[in-house]
Structure 1
Amino acid sequence: MIPLLFAAALQSEIVLQTNVIEKFSCGAGCHKKVEQLTNMVEIGDGWRKIKVKRTPYMWTREGGLEQRAPVFDSPIGTGGTTSWNYSNCKTNIFTNRSREYFSPPPSPPEEKWERNLSAFTSSGKPNFFSKNGSVFQRWRAMCPETEAARKGTEEVKAWWDRVINMLKDGEEDNKKE
């Protein structure tokens, strides 16, 4: 009986990395690695939340990767901030907030960096470009079972297939010349 209780206690402490993407771009030569710190929780009205740690990395002139603090002039190796990812699986909204909410997060103030971001552009396409922080991928990681996530994933895959085919065609044209 004791081993079963111990196993159950250990299992409750395990946080799988299933509701985050491993990393996303934060600009030219920069990316943020993401670690999921809590299991996902439903908080009502289609909203879900997880606590995450984001660690920024910058490419150096020497060609290496350096861990950076959230403020880029901070000492190397001091990076990493914790915050909360919130996704609404009904309205396709994603937001990252510094505070934890136990019910749907309020609309962010205009002057703050925090924003409610749509997982889809105004034309209905997945908002997956790095300049926007890979919003679709971060939302999809928290709402993978939705029809919108399935369709968006197919569109992103088709986009990448087109890019790869264009590169292959260009490579073949270069070989002919």
Structure 2
Amino acid sequence: MKSFRYVDSIFTDEAHLLINQGKITTLEQLNIYFHSWMESYNNRVHRTTKQTPKHRFEASSESIRHMTAEELQTLFLWGEERSVRKTSVVEIEGNVYDVDTSLKGKKIQVRYNPFDLSMIQIWNDVRYEDARSAELRSQKHSKLPADQEEAQTTAIGSNYLERLKAEQEAKKRKELGTTSFAKLKEKKKRGDLPC
């Protein structure tokens, strides 16, 4: 969790500057800047460990556990306790969901995606069949933050991410080198290159 706090405290502020300046307008652009930032972070020597995060990770003997898309989605579900009515329904945000009749009158845990309330998970020690809405009045949860149009400001601030990306691109160009057509032509004349 410490690494997430670090990303949130360092990268997020820098990214917001570029977003507010209109320099990041798509998720693809954000991912490009994030990749540059992560490459820099992973290759910087940590004060405590005296190693780069990349080297430390590569030297680790622990196996990597990959999660399925469904497992990842469940990590971000919201949950709350509800009482099942005598009619075998629960209500969330004005939406009514039919649940298993054996749960009548019981307290259950409901888990759901706050951006899509068309279906919810039903839990009572074990997971029951997901409940679809019988009556859908609200597609999103009311406690989600409202999308606010942020004014495009010419924020005076660091352009660290832009500099970082440019430095990494220059380094890659230097490593790859450039093709000199004059040198190729000269080598061809000398017979160093096949036709």
Q: Shared topology, TM-score over 0.5?
A: no
User: TM-score scaled by structure 1?
Assistant: 0.24
User: TM-score scaled by structure 2?
Assistant: 0.22
Give the helix-richer structure, 1 or 2: 2
Greater relative contact order, per chain length (Cα 8 Å cut-off, separation 6+): 2
Max radius of gyration: which structure?
A: 2
